[in-house]
Structure 1
Amino acid sequence: MDNLESHRHYQIVEKAIRFINKNFNKQPTLLDIAASVHMSEHHLQRVFSQWAGISPKRFLQFITKQAALDALQRTNSLLEASHTIGLSGSGRLHDLLVTCEGMTPGELKTGGEGVLIQYGICLTPFGEAVLGWTLRGICYLQFIKDRQKTVIDELYRQWPNASLTLNTAEAAKKANNIFSPSLEGGKIHLLLKGTNFQIKVWEALINTHSSQQLSYSQVSQLIGSPKASRAVGSALANNSIAYLIPCHRVIKHNGDMGNYRWGLERKTAMLAWEQALLE
């Protein structure tokens, strides 16, 4: 399924998740959910299965609070066993191989002077996004919540002295590589723009994989700063490379999804989509 079709299906899935979250206490049936997106049960079943690879019923099991608590417990067991959270093996079968480097203090000080950034609007399985990259790697990936211009303006604000060029065709190719990796996974390099602490948090998340969800305190333990949960939250809020720096995998210790700068429905969809890939 190409990103255009996946994008269309995601819009339906997003509406369904919004309805489920709003009516969770009423335990809506598949018929109720289908009606909320103006579809038959059969049609919704087909869209979910094409988008996520699993049935709506199975998908819904992934987004329950109990599923989140179970994922946190698995991660906690791993943290108790090892200080290193990155794993090899079948759990990483569908994961991208993401590597990264931080900008130097000098580069940060000049606001990207001398850096050539290409960018474009692209379709993804989680909606429209603006993707930006340099010769050294991807430096920007933000989903569009309201207006394209707002997200593009933010790219220019973050890199005030860089030379920016629109390249929509290449953005589409890169998005396809990111969101439609082969079974062996793709290889992506990131150029990170942040403080040392922020980069430390982002690198820790890059080394997680799709079967993991972490609480803020677990991330702070992971980076060796057990009392820095609030600072971890701030680092996540300043992440400008969505999905590839998987801050969507960080949830509250009680199983609630918590905040996400690109929308709670998108965060929920990402977590369930990743779990579905593992199946």
Structure 2
Amino acid sequence: MNTQANEKSYHYGVMRRAIELIDEGGEDLSLEDLAKKMGMSPAHFQRLFSAWVGVSPKRYQQYLRLGHAKSLLHGNFTTLGTAHAVGLSGTGRLHDLFLRWEAMSPGEYARKGAEMQISWGWFDSPFGLALAMGTAKGICGMAFAAETGTEATMADMQSRWPKATFIEDPMMLRPLVTAAFDQRGETALHMIGAPLQIKVWEALLRIPSGHVSTYSEIAQSIGAPRAQRAVGTAVGRNPVSWLIPCHRALRKSGALGGYHWGLPVKRAMLAFEAARSEERSDA
């Protein structure tokens, strides 16, 4: 297994450090100041930003601010409606990515992966090194190791289906993973979870990129307004991060809350999507 980060993962490392510098500074930093603190020339730093998200460092700082997520809530950008009855399959569209999914039946889920073969592989991503897992029906796992490390990330994901057979096979997963991060083409999900978890994950899929919702709104949308704690647990146990966008779930106050793969990854994802959404709207 080659876990050496390449270009996209390197970009995330730069963004991760930039987030820390912006938080420490308490105010917007100029391109020159940020580049100097990063040990880069302004021109090189500008190119990295453009390659990663397509907006200037100044604009990107606005998206990284903790207050940006809060403004999305106060600006009525939450878009969850009443949930339809939950089925075992469905389709959707995320920008230019066509997404189809199929959920495992409750009986299959209860077997904890017995008689199931799961392929896995490490991939470069805009948010650092990503671990993808999948069955013949689609991607069933997506995790990010930048904050947690590769060993802990692998152990975490394998523990979710302890009786499954895991086989390293990145070639089988590569077309699905490439489409997922490029947000173009078609990819498939295989949701493996309890019935309530499936409902919550379906609700997350209805939150558009560049928008957010709250745990209470998600609970309301699935017809369980008093189950906010259970909803929060299901969000935290989402096995397919990024594609099932648990990073778009916030607290009612606008606080980011937690994120299983590290809060810096969640902040980077929200900023990445906000910038990309604005880029598309301006096109």
Distance 1:201 1:41 in 2: 43
For residue 142 of structure 2, give the secondary structure of its aligned residue in structure 1. Answer: strand
Distance 2:99 2:202 in 1: 10
Alignment of 1:169 with 2:194, yes or no, is no
Alignment of 1:110 with 2:92, yes or no, is no
Post-superposition offset of 1:93: 6.5
Distance 1:253 1:55 in 2: 30
Listed one character per residue, the Cα deviations across residues 75-123 of structure 1 (whole Å, up to 9, x for unaligned) are 46745xx5369xxxxxx67253333332222212222222121111111
TM-score, structure 1 normalization: 0.85
For residue 273 of structure 2, give the secondary structure of its aligned residue in structure 1. Answer: helix
Contact residue 10 and residue 126 of structure 1 kept, 8 A? yes
Contact residue 116 and residue 134 of structure 1 kept, 8 A? yes
For residue 230 of structure 1, give the secondary structure of its aligned residue in structure 2. Answer: helix
For residue 107 of structure 1, give the secondary structure of its aligned residue in structure 2. Answer: helix
Alignment of 1:37 with 2:5, yes or no, is no
Tell me the residue number matched to 1:5: 7
For residue 127 of structure 1, give the secondary structure of its aligned residue in structure 2. Answer: coil
Contact residue 122 and residue 171 of structure 1 kept, 8 A? no
For residue 98 of structure 1, give the secondary structure of its aligned residue in structure 2. Answer: strand
Distance 2:72 2:40 in 1: 32
- Give the aligned CA root-mean-square deviation in angstroms: 2.4
Post-superposition offset of 1:11: 1.1
Deviates more, 1:134-143 or 1:219-228: 219-228
TM-score, structure 2 normalization: 0.84
**Structure 1: runs of 5 or more not aligned:** 86-91
Distance 1:77 1:113 in 2: 39
Tell me the residue number matched to 1:47: 48
User: Taking structure 1 as reference, are residues 189 and 47 closer, same or farther at Cα in structure 2, changes over 3 Å only?
Assistant: same
Tell me the residue number matched to 2:87: none
Identity %: 37
Which letter maps to 1:13? M
Post-superposition offset of 1:276: 2.0
Distance 1:230 1:95 in 2: 33
**Structure 2: runs of 5 or more not aligned:** 85-92
User: Taking structure 1 as reference, are residues 65 and 130 closer, same or farther at Cα in structure 2, changes over 3 Å only?
Assistant: closer
Distance 1:22 1:237 in 2: 28
Deviates more, 1:190-199 or 1:51-60: 190-199
User: Taking structure 1 as reference, are residues 32 and 270 closer, same or farther at Cα in structure 2, changes over 3 Å only?
Assistant: same
Which letter maps to 2:219? S
Distance 2:74 2:227 in 1: 20
Post-superposition offset of 1:212: 1.1
Contact residue 101 and residue 191 of structure 1 kept, 8 A? yes
Contact residue 94 and residue 209 of structure 2 kept, 8 A? no
Contact residue 98 and residue 186 of structure 2 kept, 8 A? yes
For residue 240 of structure 2, give the secondary structure of its aligned residue in structure 1. Answer: coil
Distance 1:93 1:101 in 2: 17
Contact residue 140 and residue 189 of structure 2 kept, 8 A? yes
Alignment of 1:270 with 2:273, yes or no, is no
User: Taking structure 1 as reference, are residues 109 and 220 closer, same or farther at Cα in structure 2, changes over 3 Å only?
Assistant: closer
User: Taking structure 1 as reference, are residues 42 and 255 closer, same or farther at Cα in structure 2, changes over 3 Å only?
Assistant: farther
> 14, 18, 24: which one pairs with 2:20?
18
Matches within 5 A, 1:74-85: 74-75=75-76, 78=79, 82-83=81-82
Which letter maps to 1:228? A
For residue 96 of structure 1, give the secondary structure of its aligned residue in structure 2. Answer: strand
Contact residue 30 and residue 58 of structure 2 kept, 8 A? no
* Number of residue pairs the alignment of both structures matches: 265
Distance 2:94 2:157 in 1: 32
Which letter maps to 1:239? N
Matches within 5 A, 1:22-171: 22-24=24-26, 26-75=27-76, 78=79, 82-83=81-82, 94=95, 96-144=97-145, 145-171=147-173
Which letter maps to 1:61? Q
